[in-house]
């Protein structure tokens, strides 16, 4: 199968072109691809990118369609119906869904793609805006080995590692596993930092000490450094992390897997989403710190 290099599949259509997708698009353009985008607002962070009027219009022009939208509802709105991408996509086109959505939404899209003669890869990414900026995302792909090999030049342009998670749907499921670990780890940090402060530990010492220990991941150390300065600029907005916890909680229930830690994490991140939906999900650290400060 021929790989989708700039020489034989140069036109990429991006549905959803926000903080993550626009950074991916920049790397794809550097690799020689042309990028057209669609957003519901008609706006793009990159004014040099041509915007399509509807997902259908975009799909008609593209050799490969990449989708990067926030949730199941946005995916359905962009894929289905009279103006959806599937109404205009060409037979043989590859559709790469990088969105973090439910396993059910992933299965529906794969089945719909078969009906119109296209291949769909679920390929959510692990990493936030810094990794997207650096082109060092980890791509978690569900699909056949041949289809993934076909798309590899695109994945190489936006990421440092491509993981073949298994058949269609497995990329989505692996993404939920990874984000569950992220969310639970951050919630534990928020709670234990609150305890330390309430117990009288010096704030600067506490944050600096946690930055030195091996039990905390590099990702969470980055969050700690920002939280020390009360910087919760959105690299991964709280509304999206809470959504992923909700998806994992539902997916685990469907498999009859008890996940009480994830259930508690979802509740804590719901608090974060309620207070600061568009700030980074690590704003939960700040919420817990304020709670302790107000009680002392």
Q: Facing residues of 11 across strands?
A: 34
Beta carbons of 65 and 90 less than 8 angstroms apart: no
Residue with tokens 């009906």: 115
Contacts of 50 (CB under 8 A, 6+ apart): 36, 37
C-alpha dihedral (24, 54, 42, 69), degrees to nearest 10: -40
DSSP 8-state code for residue 229: T
CA gap 249, 268 in Å, rounded = 13
243 catalytic residue (yes or no): no
CA gap 222, 218 in Å, rounded = 6
The catalytic position among 30, 175, 243, 290 is 175
Catalytic residues: 175
């Amino acid at each position: 199968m021929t790989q989708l290099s700039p020489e034989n599949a140069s036109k990429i259509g991006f549905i959803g072109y926000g903080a993550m997708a626009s950074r991916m698009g920049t790397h794809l353009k550097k690799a020689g691809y042309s990028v057209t985008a669609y957003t519901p607002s008609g706006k793009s962070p990159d004014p040099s990118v041509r915007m399509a009027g509807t997902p259908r219009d975009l799909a008609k022009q593209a050799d490969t369609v990449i989708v990067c939208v926030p949730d199941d509802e946005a995916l359905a709105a962009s894929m289905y119906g009279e103006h959806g991408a599937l109404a205009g996509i060409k037979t043989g086109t590859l559709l790469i869904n990088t969105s973090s959505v439910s396993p059910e939404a992933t299965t529906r899209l794969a089945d719909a793609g078969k009906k119109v003669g296209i291949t769909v890869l679920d390929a959510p990414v692990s990493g936030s805006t810094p990794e997207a900026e650096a082109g060092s995302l980890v791509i978690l792909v569900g699909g056949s080995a041949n289809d993934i090999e076909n798309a590899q030049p695109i994945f190489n342009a936006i990421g440092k590692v491509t993981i073949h998670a298994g058949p269609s749907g497995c990329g989505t499921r692996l993404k939920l596993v990874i984000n569950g670990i992220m969310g639970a780890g951050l919630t534990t940090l928020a709670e234990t930092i609150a305890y330390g402060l309430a117990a009288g530990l010096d704030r600067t010492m506490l944050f600096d000490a946690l930055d030195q220990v091996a039990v905390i991941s590099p990702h969470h150390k980055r969050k700690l450094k920002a939280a020390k300065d009360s910087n919760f600029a959105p690299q991964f907005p709280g509304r999206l992390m809470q959504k992923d916890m909700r998806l994992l909680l539902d997916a685990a229930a469907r498999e009859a897997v008890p996940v009480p830690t994830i259930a508690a994490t979802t509740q804590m991140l719901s608090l974060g989403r309620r207070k600061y939906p568009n700030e980074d999900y690590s704003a939960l650290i700040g919420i817990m710190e304020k709670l302790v400060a107000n009680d002392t």
